[in-house]
Structure 1
């Protein structure tokens, strides 16, 4: 199926290089075509079908549309070949059985460069049938001959066909067939004279005979509208109705001669504009008047024939006339073939998969049968292409260009975009649409108001027109439903733009300001509970401000709103914008928010490093600077670096800013971590609601073994967070309540754990999620049928990867509880706890493990127990004894 790529062939002197036109996959499209054709053949074979019914809805059109360079023309060409000769179809395309009818594919290139006019289209269809049938089609042929003599007097038809290249493609059988049809009718009417001079006389006589229903013309009398068409002025408009005669003649063929034209209109976007639809109207008329033919249209845009708003510009519009072309029923090309029905006739051609891209590049250039382009280079090209075949083709030519310089191409040579893609994308857009397109290239996603504001327009109409283009993708569930095709956006943003209306750097910056302001307006309108809009604004606004060095403006308030709920939705992919400069406030804010959100998925050491870079480099406002210091101190605390954490918390607390109370809470946690429980408990009394005083109190009580008091404190923390709408804190309080209850009442812990999981739904809280899983271990402690050891091992690995010291020591305590209940040795647990607390953090966890197993302390920690060491020991050991006794009771 691979032809010769002449561009590549004439780009190198190496005759061992094979340059083939590789065609890859498109299996889904072939399946859709064969399914649609099968349904069409069944329809026209039905007893109720009539080619003369000009009122019935039409379902004889299948549209493949997509962005420039997606491979529509290649698909159209392969369909033509595969339908003409099934042995020539691509190997991956399944065989297609068509029954008794013979398919006659007729591909017509409507590109402006092809200079195809309507007259040529009609002749092309008739010539294809002439070659296939080798017989006249009298009704149509008489009308066509009359039209030719009237419009082109004295011009030989043979010369016209030769000059247009049609004779070389289809042969010269049509003039003879037209002559034969004329002679046959003249003979039937017993007209004298030379046949060539009789066309006017034949027409007049035939019309009279048809009106009078003479027996001599009974073969043509069945065509009810033939006389009307022969009487009409033989101009271009009349010519557009002649296909009705062609359809009628095909319907008269016997079973042995039956053919079904499959007419492939390619490059349909060049037919006209939305305000000049003259040629489109004529093509639609052909489609309507030939219901027994099937039409496969390929172009950049969907057909709008089912839009009622076009009434008057086209003959037949609306969903009743074209049920398969209705807007809103536009599936991807991967739609199952059995779904092809009235609601699935316009198919957006999808991008190549990575495998298809590699296959294309492997077969495009070969030497001695082996791919010339190396796997490493193919990988880079595939990644950059976003599956667009045109990008692959341009990369191949770039490969040959580099090779021609004498240098061996390297993967880095292909980490680029091509300006040619810009020209292909913009070529059929209006100036306003181009302006909108470049403006929305600044945005990850958008809606009509956002795009209108970003483009600086006072009306939405250009945006509305643009979103109907195939390079605009839609996610109906997104807060902003539209986004640009990834490669289109990347190219517009990064490639050299050599078009006449290319933007300067200042133009891009102006558009960025407009887009940023528009995002800010949408943020300002959001309610306090509209978390989705907040996060959506923060996924676009900071990056936009950083890329164009804009003032923070509304971003500062949005950043504080983001951290207030402790939900931590991801704001950007982990690999987004690597190495973005931090020397601007916006760049610093992007990295700050990304680091804070990503800490749920990265080791805390990485979080510390990222925040340290922000603190040291970014010129942030004071309160945002303190935000970076605070969250770095939290990460340092999780790593067990209490001295560094304390210094950071003290700095923020002394600043008296928005996080001062949170920093005082952090200092209370640090006191607890070191074992200074009285100080931590006293701090809890002064923190208030904003300082999450109930949770701090619960954190102090549970190491004392006071699980009842801790559970009550955590419940109060959960309820308080619920009242204030702080989802993250509510989940945190419930997770720790579940842990406390799991120690004293495993049966009741089930509901508490379920509620904790419910509150965590939709949140991104890694440490809290692990705490709930540890609560599940504590609930199951002492049992032998819950795979306790395997579960603990998995959690230990997760906690280590996250760098969460607090979770690690808590997990070891759960393991110690389990082994103490089973009266098993805990030496291994004690050793792990000593290692984890060697830096002075959580030293009392070793004591608690020993309390559980009722073992003496080798070296008591410096913990200041609230009710004394002995009372604390008794509490912890009693928890073990109660669990052990409950497991001994018969169930």
Structure 2
């Protein structure tokens, strides 16, 4: 029962601690425990072997609030009684009476000392109903020395152990002492003769007397009793417990399953005194099984801890030496025996979050939290159970005011997440954590520079925390848990070292500078494009969200992004409360800073491949109206607006834009001259187009322009040669985007002349386009496939589908190419009526003069009269019409028509 929820309202709410399925973790525990039981029952197992590797521990670690304590409690309940085990967990493969679960909370709030830990284990073993004389004598001696005049029985009662495990432990200890005293023929009461008893027992053990043969089997008992009875000695006493367990009759034996929760409160990496004592307990009780839950993985298998802990290295702890494994919330594969015993607890799935919230609060058997509110909470939680609990508390708080909770009440993060996250971090680690929350992903150098530190050690320590996830194959391998990152960036920070808005602003500037330096200094031919896009995505968001006025390296990066014509999506998440750098700040209007405008520019350029060109023109016009872009970027916006206008059939408007850019002589002047050459070709003025193409070079895509000119004349040998040259030049320059564009144009030429070769060329174009965002180029290859397949029965339907795609995309300029492919198909089939109708449609759509030469090509297929307006060809009209018509004759012969 959740008492806090129960006492939060006068209404009868069924408030229970819901537990969402953690079947994967149960399967791992069950598998490891089964393996442990097998090993402990084997003939080769020796509880006194201090050199054998230990596989008697499994560790669950994860970010604060992910549900480790809840899992620990559920495991204890499931191991205690079958009726408390979730049905989906299934039945264990061992008899229930063989297991003795013992859960110990190590949190600071619980105040558990090392003495308490040892006493708890011993008190739980009292349930076995037999004295454990070797341990009990040593413990009584320790207690008399360290707590003179304090009754052990009263201490157990006051600490709650007597109520939890019963009062049999003191009675069993008294019985053990009496039996030993009697065996040694000691006079007087046990209490007054304890010092004499231990001394006599030590002497008897050394002399191997028959009277103490039952204890003589414990080889190290004498040494323990001779040692000074201090806390250090107490940490070795669990060896006596382990030995005593092996002496019990088979029907009395139980395997202790010790669940140590909140292990992060044991200490830190500088102060390992308590951790050393606890590790000693785990090592000295190899027949017990330990389930440890905490925020960080155990480092016991690290060689570097020699001297700080007694037992270290991968040989000692083979299961702890492997990297932490992320386990899904719902299921997990079974690990190999002794391997992979450090498991990172995953977040809840969206379905688990909804189930948890639906079961947490109920009224008359129905979920109290509505589905729309559960959806908002789930989205905000990033699967973190702590966020769910805080949202439940928020729900009850709002409800207590008399107002019905609404989804908007939960569209935020909670300051409590910050307090829980920062609680066990050093000041430097806190500083790095806040800095890293500005970044989508980071490496040690990026985090260190963003924090403004001179050394990487704090960042390295932070990356070993469970709140940081690692992907070794990513450009930046580390990223923060989503819920924690959101809380750090948006929630009111009431901690003593919380940052001011100015602190956040300066950190954002450091992060932007560090990203730029990484791009400039570490970019290689193999990683250049990937690194560029990654840096742009992070840099654009930082500059926009933090209103940085100096675009710095982003201008050069934007130009580099444009030059390759690949157009990966760059859009950062929408700027709202989740993206602000200080709590309470409201989002600014769109396009009011240079960073806003740059984000919009690059977004428009990338999205034009997926949206109507009219939208592109509107976006770029709005960008240019602001006047906030520096010269080179403003030129880029003007150039692509001119291109979009050309794609929409606005050839004169496009020409004016290109002329202005060419006249200015800037970086895009050559591209603008190419645009003018294309405009002349589109208008059917091929002599002007050919003249404009001269001297463009690779930067102006001269060979591609020439290929388009020769293609229109059906001079496919020259066209193919030009396209191949252009493609090879792009490959030499490492420009994959231009390679794909010229290869697609090549397919249009080859499809007419060599359908068999066209298969390979289209396949190559498809391969080059893989991973690129070039919608128009992709559709060109589809048109080429229609030309290749001319005469096939499904061409008309495929052409209609393509026409719809062109219309949706606003790619008006490709419409005539599609109609030419359809006209070729009708001509090959001899469908004169359909050919005439397609030619008339082309004549009508190009009546303004733009792309009018396509109507001439369609007419030439069937020997129809040349339409108006006339075209300024480079050769006589008869020669060109003959070439186009010859293609139809050749294809009909190949098809046997």
After the TM superposition, which of the residue ranges 431-440 and 246-255 deviates more from structure 2?
246-255
1:382 Cα deviation from its structure 2 partner: 0.8
Residues 1:609 and 2:630 are matched in the alignment:
no
After the TM superposition, which of the residue ranges 486-495 and 803-812 deviates more from structure 2?
803-812
Partner of 1:816: 823
Q: 2: CA distance between counterparts of 1:291 and 1:837?
A: 87
After the TM superposition, which of the residue ranges 575-584 and 503-512 deviates more from structure 2?
575-584
After the TM superposition, which of the residue ranges 650-659 and 733-742 deviates more from structure 2?
650-659
The one-character-per-residue Cα deviations of 1:724-752 (angstroms, maximum 9, x if unpaired) are 33221122112211220111011222332
1:417 Cα deviation from its structure 2 partner: 1.2
Residues 1:192 and 2:187 are matched in the alignment:
yes
Partner of 2:565: 566
Equivalent residue of 1:283, what SS?
helix
Residues 1:136 and 2:131 are matched in the alignment:
yes
Equivalent residue of 1:295, what SS?
strand
Partner of 1:256: 251
Q: 1: CA distance between counterparts of 2:684 and 2:64?
A: 67
1:794 Cα deviation from its structure 2 partner: 4.6
1:546 aligned residue (504, 528, 544): 544
1:286 Cα deviation from its structure 2 partner: 0.5
Equivalent residue of 1:196, what SS?
coil
Give the alignment of 1:75-114 within 5 angstroms: 75-99=71-95, 102-114=98-110
Residues 1:556 and 2:551 are matched in the alignment:
no
After the TM superposition, which of the residue ranges 402-411 and 33-42 deviates more from structure 2?
402-411
Would you say the 8 A contact 1:580–1:587 is kept in 2? Answer: no
Q: 2: CA distance between counterparts of 1:748 and 1:512?
A: 54
**Could you say if the C-alpha distance between residues 41 and 208 of structure 1 is closer, same or farther in structure 2, counting changes exceeding 3 Å?**
same
Partner of 2:889: 881
Equivalent residue of 2:258, what SS?
strand
1:224 Cα deviation from its structure 2 partner: 1.1
Partner of 1:419: 415
After TM superposition, the score normalised by the length of structure 2 is 0.94
**Could you say if the C-alpha distance between residues 843 and 365 of structure 1 is closer, same or farther in structure 2, counting changes exceeding 3 Å?**
farther
Give the alignment of 1:470-485 within 5 angstroms: 470-485=466-481
Partner of 1:30: 26
Partner of 1:536: 534
After the TM superposition, which of the residue ranges 769-778 and 352-361 deviates more from structure 2?
769-778
After the TM superposition, which of the residue ranges 620-629 and 141-150 deviates more from structure 2?
141-150
**Could you say if the C-alpha distance between residues 789 and 145 of structure 1 is closer, same or farther in structure 2, counting changes exceeding 3 Å?**
farther
Q: 1: CA distance between counterparts of 2:564 and 2:89?
A: 54
Would you say the 8 A contact 1:142–1:182 is kept in 2? Answer: yes
Q: 2: CA distance between counterparts of 1:864 and 1:275?
A: 84
Equivalent residue of 1:668, what SS?
helix
Residues 1:624 and 2:620 are matched in the alignment:
no
Partner of 2:310: 315
**Could you say if the C-alpha distance between residues 794 and 237 of structure 1 is closer, same or farther in structure 2, counting changes exceeding 3 Å?**
farther
Equivalent residue of 1:298, what SS?
strand
Structure 2 unaligned regions, length at least 5: 577-586
Q: 2: CA distance between counterparts of 1:645 and 1:579?
A: 33
Residues 1:866 and 2:861 are matched in the alignment:
no
Residues 1:367 and 2:354 are matched in the alignment:
no
Equivalent residue of 2:102, what SS?
strand
1:618 Cα deviation from its structure 2 partner: 5.2
The one-character-per-residue Cα deviations of 1:785-811 (angstroms, maximum 9, x if unpaired) are xx5455545544443333222334323
Q: 2: CA distance between counterparts of 1:656 and 1:243?
A: 84
Give the alignment of 1:357-756 within 5 angstroms: 357-527=353-523, 529=525, 530-550=528-548, 551-572=550-571, 581-617=590-626, 619-756=628-765
Partner of 1:294: 289
After the TM superposition, which of the residue ranges 613-622 and 734-743 deviates more from structure 2?
613-622
Q: 2: CA distance between counterparts of 1:235 and 1:139?
A: 17
Would you say the 8 A contact 1:708–1:741 is kept in 2? Answer: no
Would you say the 8 A contact 2:242–2:286 is kept in 1? Answer: yes
After the TM superposition, which of the residue ranges 837-846 and 104-113 deviates more from structure 2?
837-846
Equivalent residue of 2:99, what SS?
strand
After the TM superposition, which of the residue ranges 388-397 and 515-524 deviates more from structure 2?
515-524
Equivalent residue of 2:806, what SS?
helix
Partner of 1:270: 265
**Could you say if the C-alpha distance between residues 309 and 775 of structure 1 is closer, same or farther in structure 2, counting changes exceeding 3 Å?**
same
Equivalent residue of 2:87, what SS?
coil
The one-character-per-residue Cα deviations of 1:303-345 (angstroms, maximum 9, x if unpaired) are 1111111111111111111111125344435684322444411
After TM superposition, the score normalised by the length of structure 1 is 0.95
Q: 1: CA distance between counterparts of 2:845 and 2:19?
A: 60
Would you say the 8 A contact 2:55–2:318 is kept in 1? Answer: yes
Number of aligned pairs?
Answer: 881
Q: 2: CA distance between counterparts of 1:39 and 1:773?
A: 59
**Could you say if the C-alpha distance between residues 644 and 195 of structure 1 is closer, same or farther in structure 2, counting changes exceeding 3 Å?**
same
Q: 2: CA distance between counterparts of 1:526 and 1:770?
A: 36
1:19 Cα deviation from its structure 2 partner: 1.4
1:772 Cα deviation from its structure 2 partner: 2.3
Equivalent residue of 2:89, what SS?
coil
1:704 Cα deviation from its structure 2 partner: 2.5
Partner of 2:581: none
Equivalent residue of 1:95, what SS?
coil
Would you say the 8 A contact 1:100–1:255 is kept in 2? Answer: no
Q: 2: CA distance between counterparts of 1:835 and 1:26?
A: 67
After the TM superposition, which of the residue ranges 464-473 and 401-410 deviates more from structure 2?
401-410
Give the alignment of 1:739-888 within 5 angstroms: 739-783=748-792, 788=795, 791-824=798-831, 825-826=834-835, 829=838, 833=842, 837=846, 841-856=850-865, 859-888=867-896
Q: 2: CA distance between counterparts of 1:714 and 1:518?
A: 41
Would you say the 8 A contact 1:86–1:96 is kept in 2? Answer: no
Q: 1: CA distance between counterparts of 2:644 and 2:339?
A: 55
Q: 1: CA distance between counterparts of 2:337 and 2:589?
A: 49
Structure 1 unaligned regions, length at least 5: none
**Could you say if the C-alpha distance between residues 115 and 725 of structure 1 is closer, same or farther in structure 2, counting changes exceeding 3 Å?**
same
Residues 1:8 and 2:5 are matched in the alignment:
yes
**Could you say if the C-alpha distance between residues 819 and 512 of structure 1 is closer, same or farther in structure 2, counting changes exceeding 3 Å?**
same
Give RMSD over aligned pairs: 2.3
After the TM superposition, which of the residue ranges 571-580 and 459-468 deviates more from structure 2?
571-580
